[in-house]
Amino acid sequence: MKHFIIAITLLLYISCKDQKAEKKEDTAIKVEQYTIEQFMDNEAVTGGSFSFDNSKLLISSNRSGIFNVYTVPITGGNYTPITASDSTSYFAESFFPHDDRMLLSADGNGDEIDHIYLRDTTGTIKDLTPEKSAKSQFYGWADDGKSFYYGSNKMNPKFFDVYEMDISNFKAKMIYQNNDGLNFSGISKDKNYIALAQSLNTNDSDLYVYNVKTRQKTKVNSSQSGNSAQDFLNDNLYYTTDDGGEFSYLMKYDLKTEEKSKVLEKSWDIAGAGFTKNGTYMVVYVNEDGKNVIEVIDVATNTPIDLPDFGVQSISSVGFSDDEQWMRLYVGGSNMPSNLYTYNFKTQEQYQLTNVLNDEIHPEDLVTAKVIRYKSFDGLEIPAIYYLPHQASKDNKVPAMVWVHGGPGGQSRQGFNSFIQYMVNHGYAVLAVNNRGSSGYGKTFYQMDDLNHGEKDLQDCVEGKNWLATQPEIDGDKIGIIGGSYGGYMTMAALTYAPEEFDVGVNLFGVTNWIRTLKSIPPYWESMRKSLYLELGDPFTEDSVRLKRISPLFHTDKVTKPLIVLQGAQDPRVLQVESDEIVAGVRENGVPVEYVLFEDEGHGFIKKENQIEAYSRVLQFLDKYLKNANAPLDGEMKATEIKAKDES
């Protein structure tokens, strides 16, 4: 910055920043508005496998427009491209433990049929799991680094067997044949014990230890509860369970004596735990009110170590080098996308490797979410995450959207979302509700929507709308509903079964015909099919009567409010026909309907050009039918279909 404008610019920046940081809900603050292109020019980075010599990290980034794989020096510097795809997204899995070879993964434009790829030191990429219709999942490395484990359903599309691949010749051998619909959850360092989970319902599962030598399975849990294997260490299996309580806590199971003991308990779910390679540290993840809280515990002293301080930003994920000298960290918040850092335990120096927020966006223009709670129709307290635009005030009321997460059983969390920030930046408040049935608030709350989807959970969303309408900064006559997947279903349920409550609906690849969806789940979901039927209903039984009753497709004549539907043609979970038919049904009412279809996307939009198209179309729709409310509702129809070029 030029020296002659530094002083005045700095004063204006500090004044504006302080004003926004101290914004009260009854005051409006002017912000710069950004285009969807600017918001989607934020970079998304994932992964962070250390190279064998700790010189670099292996990461995935969408800086090219889709996800490709790169390496970045451990102390910061330029990315080195590993893949340069312009159609299929590639993701980083891991460096090899003793050399610079890499494992990558990719599917077919969102069809979820993942394969595992080798990238050798010459730059050649080879498919290690080339079976055309088989899905493969990387499970991790053997302790000696001479082989890795993975799951594949090539023998039976319904179940994943466990394989070990020797990296000297890349030949694989099956070490566990899955005939019973169990899911791999970990393997011990001596390769003799495999942790397996059997789903009982969407909350509960049985946990087993399989002895590779004797081929015997031993059940770990003694009562029905939510159990999940976390890691092995020193002849012990560490696992989480909610047995006897509302939230998951950490337990230890002695593989020799079969004795169990409690290791750690918090007032929220312990969502995960694991050990560094040499067992020096244990990393614990706690889902605290929709936010990751991380502890790194020194195993020898059983005390948390001090982690770097990032002020208002928080650490959401960590990983360690094999020699435990380096840690990589993702750091961000609801108002800042996560950046990747490294930290050296010996020197206590930290390095920022990425700067993912678009330089054109001023951080002070973004909104920090806050957790609120409101009472539902029956007195149940519903948690939600609230984004209030800076420009909103009692004298400048803004429209609002109720945001419903996917699932069922998902959770809206306190992380950065470019789409939400884009809407908020353009003057829409967003209330991301965690309706009954959401995870993270205890198993009783989680199970409250079982076999009543589209009913009590929908009423929770309506009460969220009612809460918004009482806020002095919100225009209570301009509130819509938006959601993806299960949230898309809730959008359609709202427009169908509570047609006067919301003013518009945004359906992102939402279920509209539960009978068809539950009959056509991907074959590799077989281990969870019974659990899904227990929660949602069995379409092959008398449950089909209720499933038809709660399926918006059969009741489209009730929809009276403007609707936009967005769908990926390759989606294996919510088939394109779901969106095709709901659009056709609602159009018959003479209701304004827009339809955006992407030929090269699956369950969610991953390519930047498609995200830009999708989210800009949503905002244009909201500006017309909600903010300005000037859409003709007398039979005139707006029906636009965008088909992105199929690059597969």
Could you report the per-residue pLDDT of 68-85, keeping only the tens digit for each? Answer: 999 999 999 999 999 999
Confidence of residue 638 (pLDDT cuts 50, 70, 90): very low
3-class SS of residue 32: coil
- Distance, CA of 39 to CA of 55 (rounded, Å): 32
Beta-carbon neighbour count of residue 189 at 10 Å? 15
Q: What is the pLDDT of residue 24?
A: 57
Strands (E), 41-111: 45-50, 56-61, 68-73, 80-81, 90-95, 102-106
If you compute the radius of gyration of the chain from its CA atoms, what whole number of angstroms results? Answer: 25
CA distance 198 to 561: 43
**Selected residue with higher pLDDT from 12 and 396:** 396
- 3-class secondary structure for 386-427? EECCCCCECCECEEEEEEECCCCCCCCCCCCCHHHHHHHHCC
630: tokens are 């000037």
- What are 250-289's pLDDT values in tens digits? 999 999 999 999 999 999 999 999 999 999 999 999 999 9
Beta strands in 490-607 (DSSP E): 505-508, 563-568, 593-598
Rounded CA-CA distance 613/611 in Å is: 5
- Cα separation, 532 vs 131, whole angstroms: 28
Q: Please state, in angstroms and rounded to a whole number, the distance separating the CA atoms of residues 389 and 397.
A: 10
Q: CB atoms < 10 A from the CB of 472, how many?
A: 11
The three-point CA angle 79-81-85 to 5° equals: 140
Tell how many helices (H) and how many strands (E) occur in the chain: 11, 37
Per-residue pLDDT tens digits for 445-467:
999 998 889 999 999 999 999 99
Domain boundary assignment for the chain: 367-513+551-644
Task: For residue 527, name the pLDDT band (cuts at 50, 70, 90).
Answer: confident
For residue 28, what pLDDT is reported? 79
User: How would DSSP label each residue in 355-370?
Assistant: --S-TTS-GGGS---E
Residue 207 buriedness (CB in 10 A; 0-12 / 13-18 / 19+): buried
List, in sequence order, every residue forming a beta bridge with 105; answer none if it has no partner: 91, 116
Angle between helices 456-469 and 486-497 (to 10 degrees): 80
Q: Can you give the pLDDT at residue 25?
A: 55
Residue with tokens 């009562």: 223
Q: What is the CATH number of domain 367-513+551-644?
A: 3.40.50.1820
Residue 154, both tokens: 């090539």
Nearest Cα residue to 539 out of 531, 548, 527:
548
**Is the model's pLDDT at 381 over the cut of 60?**
yes
Digit-coded pLDDT (tens) for 189-198: 999 999 999 9
CA neighbor of 182 nearest in space, from 227, 245, 116, 132: 227
pLDDT at 2: 33
Which residues are bridge partners to 264 per DSSP?
250
Q: What angle, rounded to 10 degrees, do the helices at 608-622 and 418-425 form?
A: 30
Question: Does residue 569 register a pLDDT over 80?
Answer: yes
Under the phi-then-psi rule, with left for phi > 0, alpha for psi from -120 to 50, and beta for the rest, what region is 440? left
Mean pLDDT computed over every residue of the chain: 92
Cα–Cα distance measured from residue 269 to residue 247, given in angstroms and rounded to the nearest whole number: 5
Partners of 243 in beta bridges = none
| Confidence at residue 26, expressed as pLDDT on a 0 to 100 scale | 65
The tokens of 373 are what? 């709670």
Indicate the burial class of 516 (C-beta count within 10 angstroms; 0-12, 13-18, 19 or more).
middle
